[in-house]
């Protein structure tokens, strides 16, 4: 049935409609398969004779004509109606009511603007009905979405277009304005926002080139953050609450050069982590070392999430120093200005990360100073150089520094830099407690790299000098410890002759070698000290000039492990100055001497022992025998009410001798003359009671007269106290130090007796001989 016999489609459809009740299923199948229908819009005769199956044609309505689809040719005399019997028959035979999904997508991609617009309208209007099976994944490669950007409009794939028009400012394609509010873009597969990966790619490949563009971009990206994250950005810039940007995304952004700085003609792009928020006045050095930016509140907040810093931290300063120490030194204004910044780093080193500290120690970052003297000139020249930690030495021994200052680079000699407190965090730094900043970075102390070798020491007899120096050190070392509080001793403080041995030799020849440079220097010294066994051994040269500063140097090195100038000068002054001078300078002489007097005398000298041996015969003299047999005086005094009524009793010397131990030594004598030492045991009071003042004054006056021959009172420290209101005299004695007293008139005094037993006109008197205050 290829020919209709001159019938039009309308005629044929009218006939079939009239005979529809008699048509069998075979007739319907034949009608569907036969090409007996024509289409509209064919102009030449050949095309006009072309026949089509009914399922190849569309109903003759305007929308299909605009879509340029093959429309069934219908008689102009009979208007087409979808509800007519002829239309129902044609639809039953297969006439297309609307294009298929694939056809409409293809029409949406047409280059004919009219067809494309009509097809796209047909598509989005039928998504909930005839095209409800639409799946964006099936057409992800088809370019049919009408989009536009700053360059113009075009058709794009669903994944290349975004419904949020703000993204147009960043160069992304967005849906055309005329379709913005009409179609359900999410059903078409068009996202509102680009994925983070696309934003990252855009910023990495085409970052903003000027400040205005950057301001717009960053403000848009700010709106991509949650309200909670906005409030917390500056406080917790890495907080994991961002809906669009994950922590890895922000980490990547923090390292991308997306912030334009400098002039608009030649902008310099920097990562956000290299920039700081400009909040007004800032230190001049910071303005030169760091880049400060300020776009807008929203843009700044976004950059804050990406690593823009609110302030310059000590970590940042350290990083800039590591990056270019010479430039840092120059911008800081030279050596003095650099020390100011280095001091800040030292004080706040606990806030610097381990990685940064490790870089500081391994790279030539640490400032070293070398002191040299040009030949023929008296002044020192200083060379500054940035070195690694292994090349810089910390001066902890000023004497060694004077020897080797011209061949080593040392750390700036400031306490804040050498000894800034820091908890040890680096595994390679094993010191504990308060450690030096340079030391924590691996710098060596000078005392550890100087090897000292002393030539053979042959002991010579010089008892007088050795004993005098030994006694002076034992007596005055506690005074030094009392005042020097900068650091605690690392070794035991010698308190007796068992802890400190002093020996003499003809000459002390010391060779010192700087191990790091293999440089050797030799000096002659008056004193040198070392640990030997459980004591300190101090050697004195008989040929070198006496210098207590060398003694102080030796002792400081042994006691503190270092030679600090203030410690050595203080100890040298304590060892050399007169006790009266020390007392005026705040030293507690009386307290210290009274505490150490016993130990100083017990240290004893051979000369004193000889003196004691010589005094043994004196104790057996007739006069002494008379004293031994003489009973103690009976003190007739009034007995206060409530007292026992007994008078104070004194033991006889024989009884006292049996009751008390013998003294083990005598005091040092600073003058040339020697006093005869009598080894007397002190009497012991059996009881104490009130004594009449007249009796006390009489006895005291006689005692004082016995203590003043040839100015001996300067060597006798006598103190007597009276409580006149209670008629009571308190007497105490130290029997360990006894000397005979001559007669001398000193006038009446009221004293508190503390000390020695003597006899004046058959009256027993207690007097304390203090240690002579001499140098």
Ranges 321-330, 521-530, 607-616, most confident: 321-330
Q: Identify the band that residue 328 occupies on the pLDDT scale cut at 50, 70 and 90.
A: very high
Our CA angle for 106, 109, 110, nearest 5°, is 95
CB atoms within 10 A of CB 229: 21
Torsion region of 673: left, alpha or beta (phi above 0 gives left; psi -120 to 50 gives alpha): beta
Mean pLDDT of 381-387: 92
pLDDT per residue as tens digits for the range 262-284 = 887 888 999 999 999 999 899 99
Query: According to the model, what pLDDT value does residue 599 have?
Result: 52
Residue 652 in this model has a pLDDT that exceeds 50: no
Please tell me the predicted confidence (pLDDT) of residue 332. Answer: 94
| pLDDT tops 70 at residue 389 | yes
3-state secondary structure of 145: strand
User: Six-digit token pair at 603?
Assistant: 């240290």
Contacts of 40 (CB under 8 A, 6+ apart): 60, 65, 70, 71, 72, 73, 74
Q: Residue 674: is its pLDDT beyond 90?
A: no
**Structure confidence at residue 613 as a pLDDT band (50, 70, 90):** low
| pLDDT value at 600 more than 60 | no
Least trusted range by pLDDT, from 232-241, 451-460, 500-509: 232-241
- Give the pLDDT of residue 683: 39
CA nearest neighbour of 576 among 476, 462, 466: 476
Min mean pLDDT across 70-79, 85-94, 261-270, 721-730 is at 721-730
pLDDT tens digits for range 508-539: 999 999 998 889 999 889 999 998 888 999 99
Residue 425's pLDDT is what? 31
Helix 25-33 / helix 85-93 crossing angle, nearest 10 deg: 80
What's the pLDDT band for 415 if we cut at 50, 70, 90?
A: low
CA distance 543 to 552: 19
Is residue 605 predicted with pLDDT exceeding 90?
Answer: no
Mean pLDDT of 232-243: 44
pLDDT of residue 33: 86
SS3 content of the chain, % helix, strand, coil (to 5): 40, 15, 45
Percent of the chain with pLDDT over 90: 33
Report, as an integer, the average pLDDT of 656-661.
36
* Residue 775: predicted pLDDT: 38
Q: What is the 3-state secondary structure (H, E, C) of 181-215?
A: CCCCHHHHCCECCCCHHHHHHHHHHCCCCCHHHHH
Residues with Cβ within 8 Å of 311's Cβ and at least 6 positions away in sequence, in order, are 276, 277
Whether residue 668 has pLDDT greater than 60:
no
Residue 533 three-state SS: coil
R_g of the chain computed on alpha carbons? 55
Per-residue pLDDT averaged across 406-426, rounded?
Answer: 63
381 phi and psi, to 5 degrees?
Answer: -110, 140
Q: Residue 656: name the closest of 636, 631, 692, 674 by CA.
A: 631
* The pLDDT value given to residue 272: 95
CA 645 to mean position of chain CA atoms: 76
pLDDT at 183: 76
Strand, helix or coil for residue 102: helix
Comparing 300-304, 574-578, 655-659, the range with the smallest average pLDDT is 655-659
pLDDT at 434: 32
Alpha helices by DSSP H, listed for 264-395, are: 284-289, 297-305, 314-323, 325-331, 335-347, 354-362
pLDDT of residue 486: 84
Better pLDDT: 760 or 205 = 205
Q: Please report the pLDDT score of residue 665 as a whole number.
A: 36
Strands 393-394 and 380-387: unpaired
In the predicted model, what is the mean pLDDT of residues 652-676? 35
The share of the chain scoring above pLDDT 70, in percent, equals 69
| pLDDT for position 8 | 75
Closest C-alpha to 632, from 545, 580, 699, 720 = 699
Which of 273-282, 306-315, 424-433, 692-701 shows the lowest per-residue confidence on average (mean pLDDT)? Answer: 424-433
For residue 675, the tally of other CB atoms under 10 A from its CB is: 20
Q: Which residue has the higher pLDDT, 701 or 691?
A: 701
Residue 413 is predicted with a pLDDT of 79
| Structure tokens belonging to residue 614 | 């010589």
Q: Using CA atoms, how far apart are residues 716 and 723, in angstroms rounded to an integer?
A: 23
- Most confident listed range (2-6, 302-306, 483-487, 684-688): 302-306
**Closest residue by Cα to residue 600 from 737, 506, 489, 482:** 737
| CB distance 315 to 351 below 8 Å | yes
Paired strand residues for 370: 383
| Cα 413 to Cα 626: distance, rounded to the nearest angstrom | 71
CA angle 499, 502, 505 (to 5 degrees): 150
Q: Which segment of 243-247, 329-333, 577-581 scores lowest on mean pLDDT? A: 243-247
pLDDT tens per residue across span 354-377: 999 999 999 999 999 998 887 777
485 strand-pairing partners: none
pLDDT of 315 strictly over 50: yes
Q: What does pLDDT average to over the chain? A: 75
Nearest by Cα to 551 from 567, 478, 535, 671: 567
Residue pair 708/744 in contact (Cβ under 8 Å)? The answer is: yes
Cα separation, 20 vs 502, in Å, equals 141
Residue 555: the pLDDT is 92
Mean pLDDT over 638-652 rounds to 39
The total of other beta-carbon atoms located within 10 Å of residue 339's CB is 17
Q: In this predicted structure, what is the pLDDT of residue 241? A: 37
Which pLDDT does position 196 carry in this prediction? 86
Say what the pLDDT of residue 704 is. Answer: 65
Tallying the residues shown for the chain, one arrives at 775
| Mean pLDDT, range 337-345, rounded to an integer | 92
Lowest mean pLDDT among 114-128, 260-274, 283-297, 593-607: 593-607
What DSSP character marks residue 614? H
């Amino acid at each position: 049935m290829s020919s209709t016999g001159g019938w039009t489609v309308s005629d044929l459809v009218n006939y079939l409609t009239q005979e529809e009740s008699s048509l069998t299923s075979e007739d319907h199948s034949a009608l569907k398969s036969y090409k007996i229908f024509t289409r509209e819009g064919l102009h030449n005769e050949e095309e006009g004779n072309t026949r089509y199956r009914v399922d190849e044609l569309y109903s003759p309505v305007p929308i299909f004509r605009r879509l340029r689809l093959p429309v069934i040719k219908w008689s102009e005399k009979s208007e087409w109606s979808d509800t007519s019997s002829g239309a129902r028959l044609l639809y039953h035979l297969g006439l297309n009511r609307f294009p298929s999904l694939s056809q409409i997508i293809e029409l949406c991609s047409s280059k004919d603007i009219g067809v494309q617009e009509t097809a796209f309208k047909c598509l989005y209007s039928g998504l909930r009905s005839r095209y409800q099976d639409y799946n964006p994944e099936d057409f992800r490669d088809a370019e049919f979405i009408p989009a536009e950007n700053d360059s113009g409009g075009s058709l794009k794939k669903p994944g290349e277009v975004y419904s949020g028009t703000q993204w147009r400012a960043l160069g992304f394609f967005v849906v055309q304005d005329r379709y913005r509010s009409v179609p359900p873009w999410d059903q078409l597969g068009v996202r509102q926002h680009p994925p983070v990966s696309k934003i990252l790619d855009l910023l990495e490949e085409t970052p903003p080139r000027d400040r205005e563009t950057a301001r717009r971009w960053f403000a848009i990206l700010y709106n991509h953050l949650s309200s909670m994250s906005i409030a917390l950005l500056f406080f917790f810039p890495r907080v994991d609450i961002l809906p669009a940007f994950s922590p890895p995304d922000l980490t990547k952004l923090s390292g991308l050069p997306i912030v334009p700085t400098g002039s608009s003609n030649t902008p310099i792009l920097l990562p956000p982590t290299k920039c700081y928020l400009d909040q007004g006045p800032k230190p001049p050095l910071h303005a030169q070392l760091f880049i400060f930016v300020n776009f807008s509140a929203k843009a700044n907040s976004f950059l804050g999430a990406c690593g823009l810093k609110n302030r310059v931290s000590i970590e940042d300063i350290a990083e800039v120093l590591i990056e270019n120490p010479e430039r840092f030194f120059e911008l800081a204004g030279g050596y003095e200005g650099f020390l100011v910044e280095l001091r800040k780093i030292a004080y706040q080193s606990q806030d610097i990360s381990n990685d940064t500290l490790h870089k500081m120690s391994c790279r030539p970052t640490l400032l070293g100073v070398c002191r040299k003297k040009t030949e023929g000139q008296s002044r020192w020249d200083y060379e500054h150089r940035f070195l690694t930690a292994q090349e810089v030495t910390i001066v902890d021994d000023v004497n060694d520094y004077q020897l080797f200052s011209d061949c080593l680079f040392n750390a700036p000699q400031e306490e804040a830099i050498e000894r800034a407190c820091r908890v040890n965090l680096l595994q390679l730094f094993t010191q504990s407690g308060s450690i030096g900043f340079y030391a924590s970075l691996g710098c060596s102390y000078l005392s550890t790299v100087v090897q000292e070798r002393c030539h053979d020491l042959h002991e010579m007899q010089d008892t007088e000098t050795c004993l005098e120096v030994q006694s002076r050190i034992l007596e005055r070392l506690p005074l030094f410890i009392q005042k020097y509080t900068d650091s605690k001793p690392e070794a035991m403080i010698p308190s007796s002759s068992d802890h400190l041995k002093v020996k003499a030799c003809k000459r002390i020849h010391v060779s010192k070698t700087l191990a790091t440079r293999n440089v050797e220097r030799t000096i002659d010294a008056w004193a040198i000290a070392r640990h030997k066994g459980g004591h300190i051994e101090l050697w004195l040269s008989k040929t070198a000039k006496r210098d207590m500063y060398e003694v102080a140097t030796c002792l400081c090195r042994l006691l503190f492990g270092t030679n600090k100038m203030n410690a050595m000068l203080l100890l040298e002054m304590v060892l050399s100055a007169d006790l009266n001078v020390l007392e005026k300078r705040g030293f507690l002489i009386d307290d210290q001497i009274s505490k150490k007097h016993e130990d100083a005398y017990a240290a004893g000298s051979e000369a004193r022992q000889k003196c004691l041996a010589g005094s043994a015969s004196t104790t057996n003299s007739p006069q002494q025998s008379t004293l031994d047999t003489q009973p103690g005086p009976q003190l007739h005094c009034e007995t206060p009410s409530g007292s026992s009524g007994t008078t104070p009793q004194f033991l006889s010397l024989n009884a006292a001798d049996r009751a008390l131990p013998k003294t083990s030594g005598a005091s040092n004598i600073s003058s040339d003359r020697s006093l005869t030492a009598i080894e007397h045991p002190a009497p012991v009071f059996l009881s104490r009671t009130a004594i009449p003042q007249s009796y006390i004054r009489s006895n005291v006056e006689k005692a004082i007269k016995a203590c003043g021959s040839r100015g001996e009172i300067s060597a006798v420290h006598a103190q007597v106290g009276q409580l006149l209101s209670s008629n009571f005299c308190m007497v105490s004695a130290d029997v360990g130090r006894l000397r005979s007293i001559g007669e001398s008139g000193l006038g009446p005094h009221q004293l508190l007796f503390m000390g020695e037993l003597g006899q004046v006109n058959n009256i027993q008197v207690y007097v304390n001989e203090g240690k002579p205050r001499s140098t």
